[in-house]
Amino acid sequence: MINKTQSRLLQWTALFLFIQSLILSLAPAVRERTWDVDFRVSHWLGFIVWAGFTYLAHRTMTKTLPDHDPYIFSAASLLSGWGILTIWRLDESFGLKQSIWLGVSLTAFIFAAHFFTNLALLKKYKYLFLSGGLIITSLTLLFGTNPLGVGPRLWLGLGGIFFQPSEPLKILLVIYLSAYLADRTNIRLFSLPLLVPTLFVTGIALLLLIVQRDLGTASIFVFIFAVFLFFSSGKRRVLIGTGAFLAAVLVLGYFLIDVIRIRVIGWVNPWTDPTGNSYQIIQSLLAVANGNMLGRGLGIGSPLLVPVAISDFIFAAIAEETGLIGTLGLIAAIWLILARGLIISLQAEDNFKRFLAAGVVTYLGVQSLLIIGGNLRLLPLTGVTLPFVSYGGSSLITSFFALFLLLVISNREDNEPAPLTNPRPYAILAGIFALGLAASALSVSWWVLVRGEDLLTRTDNARRAIADRFVQRGDLLDTNNQLINTTTGESGALIREYLYPSLAPVTGYTHPVYGQAGLEASLDDYLRGLQGNPSSLIFWNDLLYGTPPPGLDVRLSIDLSLQTVADDLLGDHRSALILMNAETGEILVMASHPTFDPNQLDDEGDNLSQAEDSPLLNRATQGLYPPGEILTPLIQTKFTDAPPSDEQTLNYYSDLGLFTTPKLRVPVSTHTASNTLNDVRFSPLQIALAAATLSNEGSVPAPRVAIAVNTPEQGWVVLPELGEAREVLQARAANDAATSFIQDGKTYWSYSGLGQAASTSVSWFIAGTPPNWQGTPLVLVAVVEENNPVFVQKIGDELIKKALNR
């Protein structure tokens, strides 16, 4: 019956891992959306190693341990196989190493199951084992290294193989404490027999904490010791006291030890420092959120974005690729081991075995909860491994040795458990583990179901940038459907190309490091395909590929033929120019100089943001300049006889809407109020809107630059307007003013003026089509950051002529 149970469970495990391997093999085809890829095959070696050694171990157990517990080995091999495939997916060389370690662990396991099923030896030589473990551990203080080169130096290295002695030391401590306390039941707290081990454990823990800064291992030692005290004394205050002690250490460590402070801050409030101290935990939560319900599929997510995903954050990696469903299964498998372990402990024949089993369960349970809780921000992060799953030879061997002890203890010849005076500690320990695992399960659900949306749209979610390499982004087109920004390359290596770089201050850029700006930022949802596509398409792409669907093209009102002329005219002058349809508000030309080339962002991104002439700034909408006399034509529509007072002028500006922020899909700056006329600053866009009234029968149009989006279902769809046109002047007054500013020999009205503030002066030029114009009513604004009215008038005249004579 037992062997049938175990072999059936192992068959399910093998099926699960086989399907996962198959998914990993096909993953490149899914990522690149073509069958013409290099399929991943090397991980099948890991699967074969797992299957072979697991089968041999199973066969050995059925012979030498006929009455062993059938659940825990199956659950442990599920976890170890899952771990190997996940590690292999993250890093092939580590996957190979982990497979070798699994082979070594299971060979030792088989060997032990043949020859060392008598645990009395462990009891007899408890001091030998413990002191051996201690000596080796203390060697790390002298010769310790870290395979990664940084971090706690907990390993001993020899010829490229690294071993972490503090891992087996946990089990050796469990053996020692079991043997020591088995003969001293109902021990009194604060008695001499307890003093020695107490001092001893506290000593190791403090040493680990202070010298090695290894909070995780130190707290596991303390927990194991506390549980032993609890079991032998039956006093609940032991647990409460330990909890208080660890909390005190945490608080003290917060002030004294940097690592602990970073961990505590990252735990309490990670959101304030997402790129620094809380980077790991936030990346972990992003991975969990990206996993959603079903997970991305092994090899299809991006768990490598989480630091140390193969060991500390393997739970997050598993969550990303097998989802909420997978992690709940993982947690259930861990519960199976812990719950069966405690039952084995209760049914053990003698106190030594009972304590040993309970100690092993404590070690596995506390370590699992610490790291799962750390990954999910339930607990402060401690760098311990997830037993059976995480990368690490020492951890894997120790975990399988712990499992071996449980299996031997469960293999009872005698039916009768040893007498038990107080069963409560076992129930309480089981309750603690159940609560911890349930909290972990709820926590995964929380990050996936409740906070998932928020997390994934964070700008520091690099998955968006990764998706951009695989999914075609929508193009930006000018009003004649000429390409402005487009995406080229092959799936997996798509890059954004900016065919008309001079427009960069307006259209902006999208870049994996520097983020997004301008229209690329404001139209991102359309260009990325998250808006305008049918929601079913978005859902399917997310489910199948974990990416948005191909993006949609957006047509702008910009007319490249005129834009080119404007850019040529402005040259290197610090200047801005807007040519707008005075009636519809469509912006035909928007220039801001100097400009920059977004194709060169990789090399020049850092310089650009600090450049003295601020090329990233869109001067046409964000540049705020003193208006000076440039609005004279407008003022004349109302104050025909005498010039207005300052207060009247300010009120008039307010009526014209110059203190409200225009709505446009690019960043816009305004001064929303001014007390004196000298402080007033307007952007070229605002002047253009006000001037448009003279060519538009007294109405201010609603400006727009993005016109339509090309949807798959309805073709080109006009984008919603952001604002409404407003009538601010009487049509007749506006028309009269416009007519009076038509100079001899010109077909349009125009006016130029200087705007002056403390140390700077700017030259303005405005022009527009006269009343009753038969063609498209236009308005133009140009501004140069120099005292040069001739120049600005020249380029203004030239451009508007060109526009009118088209």
Partner 1 sequence: MSAIIVLALRIMAALALYGFLGWAFYYLYQEVKRQGANIANKRIPGITLMIKPKDGKPSLRYFNQTEITIGRDPGCDVPLSEDTISARHAHLVYHHNQWWLEDLSSTNGTRLNNTFITIPTVVTTDDDIQCGGYVMSINLSENVIIEPTQRLKKKPAQINEDDD
User: Min. distance of Cβ 382 from partner 1 in angstroms?
Assistant: 27
User: Min. distance of Cβ 57 from partner 1 in angstroms?
Assistant: 17
Which residue lies nearer to partner 1 by CB, 16 or 514? 16
Look at residue 162 and give its three-state secondary structure: strand
- For residues 766 and 691, the answer to whether their CB atoms sit within 8 Å is yes
Among 108, 207, 336, 725, binds partner 1 (CB under 8 A): 336
Q: What is the CA radius of gyration of the chain?
A: 36
Q: Does 418 bind partner 1 (CB under 8 A)?
A: no
- For residues 145 and 162, the answer to whether their CB atoms sit within 8 Å is yes
CA–CA separation, 688 and 631 (whole Å): 10
Compute CA 798 distance to the chain's CA centroid, rounded to the nearest angstrom: 50
Q: Which of 499, 505, 467, 461 is nearest to 481 (CA)?
A: 499
Q: Which of 648, 83, 103 is nearest to 385 (CA)?
A: 83
Q: Does 423 bind partner 1 (CB under 8 A)?
A: no
- Element (DSSP H or E) covering residue 498: strand 495-498
Which residue lies nearer to partner 1 by CB, 5 or 488? 5
User: Min. distance of Cβ 55 from partner 1 in angstroms?
Assistant: 16
- For residues 396 and 80, the answer to whether their CB atoms sit within 8 Å is yes
Among 212, 329, 594, 651, binds partner 1 (CB under 8 A): 329
Handedness of CA 275, 279, 285, 290 (dihedral sign): positive
Q: Which amino acid is at 443?
A: S
Among 416, 641, 713, 744, binds partner 1 (CB under 8 A): 416
Q: Does 539 bind partner 1 (CB under 8 A)?
A: no
Q: Does 67 bind partner 1 (CB under 8 A)?
A: yes
Applying CB under 8 A, the span of 69-77, 157-165, 560-568, 600-608 interacting with partner 1 comes to 69-77
Query: Around Cβ 120, how many Cβ atoms within 10 Å?
Result: 11
User: Min. distance of Cβ 27 from partner 1 in angstroms?
Assistant: 7
CA–CA separation, 246 and 216 (whole Å): 11
Question: What x-and-dash track marks residues 257-296 binding partner 1 by CB under 8 A?
Answer: -------------------------------------xx-
Q: Does 449 bind partner 1 (CB under 8 A)?
A: no
Q: Does 414 bind partner 1 (CB under 8 A)?
A: yes
Instruction: For 406-426, give the secondary structure using H, E and C.
Output: HHHHHCCCCCCCCCCCCCHHH
User: Min. distance of Cβ 547 from partner 1 in angstroms?
Assistant: 10
Among 5, 607, 651, 730, binds partner 1 (CB under 8 A): 5
User: Min. distance of Cβ 329 from partner 1 in angstroms?
Assistant: 4
CA–CA separation, 459 and 503 (whole Å): 24
Q: Does 75 bind partner 1 (CB under 8 A)?
A: yes
Q: Does 550 bind partner 1 (CB under 8 A)?
A: no
Among 13, 290, 345, 735, binds partner 1 (CB under 8 A): 13
CA–CA separation, 236 and 764 (whole Å): 82
Report strand pairing: 476-477 vs 554-556: parallel
User: Min. distance of Cβ 680 from partner 1 in angstroms?
Assistant: 58
Look at residue 694 and give its three-state secondary structure: helix
CA–CA separation, 767 and 366 (whole Å): 76
Report strand pairing: 706-711 vs 715-718: antiparallel
User: Min. distance of Cβ 372 from partner 1 in angstroms?
Assistant: 17
For partner 1 (CB under 8 A), the number of binding residues is: 41
**Residues 6+ positions from 182 with CB-CB distance below 8 Å:** 123, 350, 351, 352, 354, 355
Applying CB under 8 A, the span of 6-14, 120-128, 370-378, 512-520 interacting with partner 1 comes to 6-14
Q: Does 638 bind partner 1 (CB under 8 A)?
A: no
Q: What are phi and psi of 619, to 5 degrees?
A: -60, -25
**Residues 6+ positions from 657 with CB-CB distance below 8 Å:** 689, 690, 700, 726, 728
Among 288, 333, 356, 429, binds partner 1 (CB under 8 A): 333
Among 46, 70, 341, 771, binds partner 1 (CB under 8 A): 70
By residue count, the chain amounts to 806
Among 8, 114, 236, 806, binds partner 1 (CB under 8 A): 8
Query: Around Cβ 516, how many Cβ atoms within 10 Å?
Result: 18
Among 415, 536, 610, 676, binds partner 1 (CB under 8 A): 415
- For residues 471 and 551, the answer to whether their CB atoms sit within 8 Å is yes
Q: Does 300 bind partner 1 (CB under 8 A)?
A: yes
User: What residues numbered 649-708 form the site for partner 1, per CB under 8 A?
Assistant: none
Among 332, 435, 438, 442, binds partner 1 (CB under 8 A): 332
Compute CA 482 distance to the chain's CA centroid, rounded to the nearest angstrom: 36
Q: Does 12 bind partner 1 (CB under 8 A)?
A: yes
Applying CB under 8 A, the span of 9-17, 110-118, 228-236, 670-678 interacting with partner 1 comes to 9-17
CA–CA separation, 750 and 790 (whole Å): 13
CA–CA separation, 362 and 408 (whole Å): 17
Look at residue 536 and give its three-state secondary structure: helix
Among 61, 78, 84, 229, binds partner 1 (CB under 8 A): 78
Among 54, 74, 410, 479, binds partner 1 (CB under 8 A): 74
User: Min. distance of Cβ 289 from partner 1 in angstroms?
Assistant: 18
Q: Does 543 bind partner 1 (CB under 8 A)?
A: yes
- For residues 376 and 443, the answer to whether their CB atoms sit within 8 Å is yes
Q: What is the largest CA-CA distance in the chain?
A: 117
Question: What x-and-dash track marks residues 19-58 binding partner 1 by CB under 8 A?
Answer: xx-xx--xx-xx--x-x-----------------------
User: Min. distance of Cβ 529 from partner 1 in angstroms?
Assistant: 16
Which residue lies nearer to partner 1 by CB, 57 or 792? 57
Which residues form the interface with partner 1 (CB under 8 A)? 5, 8-9, 12-13, 15-16, 19-20, 22-23, 26-27, 29-30, 33, 35, 67, 70-71, 74-75, 78, 294-295, 297, 300, 322-323, 325-326, 329, 332-333, 336, 414-416, 543-545
